[in-house]
C-alpha cells in the first residue's frame, strides 16, 4: 500500500443549489462531481488510499449512483459527523496505519490539478503541514465598523484551497484536541498546536462548487 492517503469530505446538503440533491452528487460532464474528485487523486497515485466521508443518510443514494455510473474506484467509507472537524476525525479513524502522509480534500473540488496534489504531498514530506493557496486578484476591504471600511493590501492575503496535506502523526495528534468553533479547516486545527503551515501554489480552476453559477463554470472548465 502506498504511504499516501486522502480523506475526501463530502457532507454538503446542497441548500445553496436550490435543490434536493446534495451538491456532491450533481452531474458535470456526464457523472457526479464526487466521482471526478476521487478519480483525480487516483490519477495522481493509483495506490493512494481514498477515505470518503459521507453522512449516513446519503450513503444508500451514493451506492445507487455508483451502480448507475459503473463507478468502481476503490475507497473506504466513513460516516460524516456533526461538523467538518468531526467528519475528518471519523475519516482519520479509517486511514491505514501505514500511511505517512494524509491529505484532506473537499469533495466538491473536482478540478484540483495533479501538479497541485503533487506539490502538496512532496512539501508535506519535508515540512509536515501544507496548504495550497492562490493570489487575491480583486480589491479587498476591511469592515472597521458598520459605517466605516478601508482598503487593505491584497498582497497580504491568500485564498486557501484543498488538499491540505500533513504528516500522519501530526494530523492524528491535532485531531485529538477538543473541538472549538475556530476550527474552519485542517490547517487551523494543526496551527492550534503551534505547528507552522507551509503554503504552496494552488491552481485557479480548483474551485469549490457550491452554487448554480459554480456548476456553469464547472461545465466550462470541462
For 144-176, how does the pLDDT look when each residue is reduced to its tens digit (9 = 90+)? 999 999 999 999 999 999 999 999 999 999 999
Please report the pLDDT score of residue 32 as a whole number: 97
Please report the pLDDT score of residue 131 as a whole number: 98
Q: Which of 221, 170, 207, 189 is nearest to 23 (CA)?
A: 207
Cell of 178: 477538543
Contact assessment for residue 38 and residue 46, using Cβ atoms and an 8 Å cutoff: no
Please report the pLDDT score of residue 2 as a whole number: 63
Q: How many structural domains are present in the chain?
A: 1
| pTM of structure | 0.94
Q: How far apart are CA 12 and CA 54, in angstroms?
A: 9
Query: In the chain, which residues have pLDDT < 50?
Result: 1, 14-16
Contact assessment for residue 147 and residue 191, using Cβ atoms and an 8 Å cutoff: no
Please state the φ and ψ torsions of residue 22, each to the nearest 5 degrees.
-55, 145
CATH assignment of the domain containing 175: 3.90.550.10
Task: State the virtual CA torsion across 122, 125, 130, 131 in degrees, nearest 10.
Answer: 30
For residue 153, give its domain range.
Answer: 4-221
| Residue 70 neighbours by CB distance under 10 Å | 7
Amino acid at each position: 500500500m502506498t504511504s499516501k492517503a486522502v480523506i475526501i469530505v463530502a457532507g454538503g446538503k446542497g441548500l445553496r443549489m436550490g435543490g434536493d440533491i446534495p451538491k456532491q452528487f450533481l452531474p458535470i460532464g456526464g457523472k457526479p462531481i464526487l466521482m471526478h474528485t476521487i478519480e483525480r487523486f487516483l490519477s495522481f497515485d493509483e495506490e493512494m488510499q481514498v477515505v470518503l466521508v459521507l453522512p449516513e443518510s446519503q450513503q444508500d443514494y451514493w451506492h445507487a449512483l455508483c451502480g448507475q455510473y459503473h463507478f468502481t474506484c476503490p475507497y473506504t467509507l466513513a460516516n460524516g459527523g456533526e461538523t467538518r472537524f468531526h467528519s475528518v476525525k471519523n475519516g482519520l479513524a479509517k486511514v491505514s496505519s501505514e500511511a505517512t502522509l494524509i491529505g484532506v480534500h473537499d469533495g466538491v473540488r473536482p478540478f484540483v490539478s495533479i501538479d497541485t496534489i503533487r506539490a502538496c504531498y512532496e512539501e508535506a514530506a519535508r515540512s509536515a503541514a501544507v496548504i495550497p493557496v492562490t493570489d487575491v486578484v480583486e480589491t479587498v476591504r476591511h469592515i472597521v465598523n458598520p459605517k466605516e471600511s478601508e482598503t487593505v493590501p491584497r498582497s497580504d492575503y491568500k485564498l486557501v484551497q484543498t488538499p491540505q496535506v500533513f504528516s500522519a502523526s501530526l494530523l492524528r495528534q491535532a485531531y485529538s484536541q477538543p473541538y472549538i468553533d475556530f476550527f474552519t479547516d485542517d490547517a487551523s486545527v494543526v496551527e492550534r498546536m503551534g505547528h507552522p503551515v507551509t503554503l504552496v501554489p494552488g491552481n485557479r480552476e480548483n474551485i469549490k462548487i457550491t452554487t448554480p453559477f459554480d456548476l456553469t463554470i464547472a461545465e466550462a472548465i470541462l
